[in-house]
Amino acid sequence: MLTLKYITENTEEVIVRLAKKNFDGADIIAQVVELDNVRKTTQVKVDTASAELNNLSKEIGLLFKQGKQDEAAQAKEKTVELKESIKVLGDQQTAAELKLNELLVQIPNLPHESVPAGKHAEDNLIERTGGVMPNLHADAVPHWDLAKKYDLIDFELGVKISGAGFPVYKGKGARLQRALINFFLDNAREAGYLEVQPPYVVNAASGYGTGQLPDKEGQMYHCTVDDLYLIPTAEVPVTNIYRDVILNESELPIRNTAYSACFRREAGSYGKDVRGLNRLHQFDKVEIVQIQHPDKSYETLDQMVNYVQTLVDKLELPWRILRLCGGDMSFTSALTFDFEVFSAAQERWLEVSSVSNFESYQANRLKCRFRTADKKTQLCHTLNGSAMALPRIVAALLENNQTPEGIRIPKALIPYTGFDLID
């Protein structure tokens, strides 16, 4: 979340920048400033009353020693009044702080100055494109038909076991999944990321730390008995490794990668966007996460974007990179680049990765800090990216590489699949 210091010192700027995310922040920011004034004013009163109480306590003992019983009794009555006053002020301060925090978590991150204005995905800017568009044969079909033809993915069986959005991968379909996971992990490790294997469920504090909670849209699966949440991405547990941690400046940057299953309710999704692998409730993804020095986070963001580009290049997929507009960005992001690959049989672009810089927004929630050479502490910047999400990658690989003889496997994947053709 945004720091109180930044909001109170840059109030008008915050309101203007939030407007780029189509968030009207005037009212909530005014409430935050007012509550912060109440909090600070109350603290001054508590400090003043506490100092007076401390002085009176010392004076009472002296008055008793001097035999001034009446004056000592009056002073004791005054201490009772002061204690009650301090308690009332403390309750007021606690109430203000609770309300203040309740408001702060409702305020999105500020967009970076380079974020374009816009309300919808159509307003995103295309940064660059690459890859070769496939020229499919006349009988080419979408991936859900290919999955059935070659017995790779059973969508109906998934419905029987769990429900829509939980496919069952079979045979070479399952092997392709495993091959992609290992391919992405190996590439990340070679790029300097430390692999970790995180839990697939997190507590509320972890969801809060990375900004998934409060969960306004109800998109996370909640295990109510144990009050745990199924992770929507490995970003959540991996970034929370550094919750309440003070790092040394020399340890930065920290680079982690993790494979996980991901779980999303995808409430409100419908139509062609949910056909086949286009939108699932459970899917596999390899994530990259960096904890970085604030002065270097945007340089790091560029490096992460370039790294993800190498992956789609190796998979021989046509791709484009979008700079998201304010209205299409996530609640927590300051700047996001989306990767899309072209799905030839569907004749549409599919999002396969988002790479984001959250600046200090997550770190402030997480209390993730680093200690400088002069022993001062400062909030880190956090970044993450999908590297990569599998379902739409698989959809594009199946569709774009179909031939009359079968589905060709990209050269870079063959050492991982153990086969070069699905037939």
| Binding site residue list for ATP | 264-266, 351-354
Q: Rounded to an integer, what distance in angstroms lies between the CA atom of residue 201 and that of residue 227? A: 10
Binding residues: 233, 264-266, 287, 351-354, 384
CA angle 178, 181, 184 (to 5 degrees): 145
> What is the identity of the amino acid at 80?
V
Q: Rounded to an integer, what distance in angstroms lies between the CA atom of residue 372 and that of residue 17? A: 29
Task: Tell me the three state secondary structure of residue 105.
Answer: coil
Binding residues for L-serine: 233, 264, 287, 384
Q: Rounded to an integer, what distance in angstroms lies between the CA atom of residue 101 and that of residue 105? A: 6
The single-letter DSSP state of residue 266 is -
Which residue in 316, 286, 280, 285 sits closest to 147, CA to CA? 280
Q: Rounded to an integer, what distance in angstroms lies between the CA atom of residue 303 and that of residue 294? A: 15
The single-letter DSSP state of residue 108 is P
For 311-341, letters b (16+ CB in 10 Å) and e give bbeebbbbbbbbbbbbbbbebbbbbbbbbbb
* Residue 356, H or E segment: strand 348-357
**Structure-token pair, residue 399:** 């569709």
Which residue in 184, 194, 181, 191 sits closest to 257, CA to CA? 194
Report whether 414 contacts 405 (CB < 8 A): no
**Strand duo 406-408 + 402-403: pairing:** antiparallel
Q: Rounded to an integer, what distance in angstroms lies between the CA atom of residue 57 and that of residue 291? A: 49
Q: Rounded to an integer, what distance in angstroms lies between the CA atom of residue 154 and that of residue 163? A: 12
Q: What number of other Cβ atoms are within 10 A of residue 87's Cβ?
A: 11
Residue 335 β-bridge partners: 357
